Amino acid sequence: MDNKLAIFIPNLINWDGEKQIIGGLERYMIALAEIMTEMGYDLSFHQFAHHDFSNNSLDWPVYGYQADSRELHKTIGRMEKATKGRVLYSSIVQQTSYRPQSICISHGVWWELPGSSPVQAQKYYENHVAKALEQAGLIISCDYNFLNVTRAIYPHLADQKIRVIPNFADSKYYYPRKPKNTDHVRILYPRRLSPERGFGILKEVIPPLLCRFPQVEFEFAIDTNKPEYLEIFHQWRENLTSKERILYCHPDYQSMPEVYAEADIVVIPSIYSEGTSFSCLEAMAMGKAVIATDVGGLTNLIINGYNGLLIHPSKESLYQSLLYLIENPSVCTRFGEYAYTTSQAFSRRVWEARWRQCIKRIYPLS
């Protein structure tokens, strides 16, 4: 068998084929592509697009396939036809059929939108999870939560097909820096502005906290993938009286460590759709006090009251937990220390070694 392998991905670069997308899935796949290239595979990426394109600006060719977001399955069909041989599916969300000897990746339970119905939920797990369990050779899950939820739905299949490889924090870049010399308390939100990431509840608790504590400031480290989210953000910020204490930046991957270094508290207030979030792991590796929600894989990283706070994603609990940490800097320090030591258990080296094993087993090179 030759060493060609096609990777299906929703979007490694934007739908115009011009700009790299900043996000967890994208970084994950670049890290994976690096080790697979080193192992001798000849990789190509296949993604959705506004019009067909091929792009060679990264280390691997990226092919865009014209897609209509209401009929993505048609585009998947075209990708399937265009690629021969071996395929790796970067996200279980993307398709509902799999080649037999293939790996599919779950980045966490994603369909638990609050207020959706049991019937809607069932469609997701029957169309995506059940199909992957039946057809794919192996499902790599980035957290224990996906495995445990799947086992509770499909008790006889989950353990046969799913292997957990938690995400990592790269200690080469993410490690505690010297404490900064200010009496400001900076609270960092290093996520997308999309609804599942909890910007909606965070923006409600910010004005009262800024009003109550003159030393507190918030920083938003946000991407520019979606202009409409940015617009909402700026509209909201403009109307606040203490907007000068709401900072924002659009860092690339390389400058993230500096952004974390300036923070005292990091909030990961996700409402749904979480795995073992890179943002959470990296904040931990930087030795920061983390407030995360009891959603998805975040529960596999933060132990409430030990290395951070694990809260129910509501305005009330987010406000109370921020209040507690602002008023107790010594608790922040302790959480940060334990967050750092626990993050060491999520090393990039272990992640790579586990992945190599799985790749060798499913896609053997002759």
Partner 1 sequence: MAKKVALLTTNFFHPKSERIITGGAERYQVDFCRLLRDMGFNVEVWQMGDNWTKEFDGIKIHGVPANKTEYHTFPELNMAFYENAMAFDYSVYFILSLAYPLVHEKSIGISHGVYWDWPGFDTTTGKQEIKQEWLRRMGISLAGPQKLVSVDTNTINYFNATLPSFYNKWEYIPNYVDTDLFCPHEEDLTKDKIRILFPRRMVPVRGINETMRAAEILTEKYPAIEFHFCGRGHDDTIEMLMSQWAKKQERCYYYWKPFEMMPEIYQMADIVLIPSRSTEGTSLAALESMACGKPVVAGMAGGLSDLVLDGYNGYLIKPSVENLVSSIEELIKDSKKRRLMGERGREIAISFNKKRWDERWAKIIADVFR
Task: Report the interface residues with partner 1, using CB under 8 A.
Answer: 109, 111-118, 120-122, 125, 144-145, 147-149, 151-153, 155-156, 158-159, 164, 166, 272, 294-296, 299-300, 303-306, 310, 312, 314, 338, 341-342, 344-345, 350
Separation CA 192–CA 220 (nearest Å): 9
CB of 346 to partner 1, least distance (A): 8
Nearer of residues 217 and 282 to partner 1, judged by Cβ: 282
- Pick 262 or 294: Cβ nearer partner 1: 294
Minimum CB separation of residue 272 from partner 1 in Å reads 7
Reading the block at residue 323, the tokens are 């209040």
CA neighbor of 283 nearest in space, from 165, 144, 175:
175
CB of 149 to partner 1, least distance (A): 5
Nearer to partner 1, 57 or 304 (CB): 304
Report the residue number, 25 or 147, with the smaller CB distance to partner 1.
147
Q: How far is the CB of 29 from partner 1 (least distance, A)?
A: 23
Q: Which has the closest alpha carbon to 333: 323, 324, 325, 345?
A: 325
69: its two tokens: 């977001």
- Nearer to partner 1 by C-beta: 341 or 357? 341
Q: Of 152 and 244, which CB lies nearer to partner 1 in the complex structure?
A: 152
**Smallest distance, partner 1 to C-beta of residue 331, A:** 12
- Burial (CB < 10 A; 0-12, 13-18, 19+), residue 46, is buried
And the tokens for 33? 């592509």
Tokens in use for 353? 């070694």
Spell out the alpha helix ranges (H) of the chain. 24-38, 72-82, 118-124, 130-135, 144-153, 158-161, 199-212, 227-238, 256-261, 278-285, 315-327, 329-343, 348-362
* CB 350 to partner 1: min, Å: 7
Q: Identify residue 113 by its one-letter amino acid code.
A: L
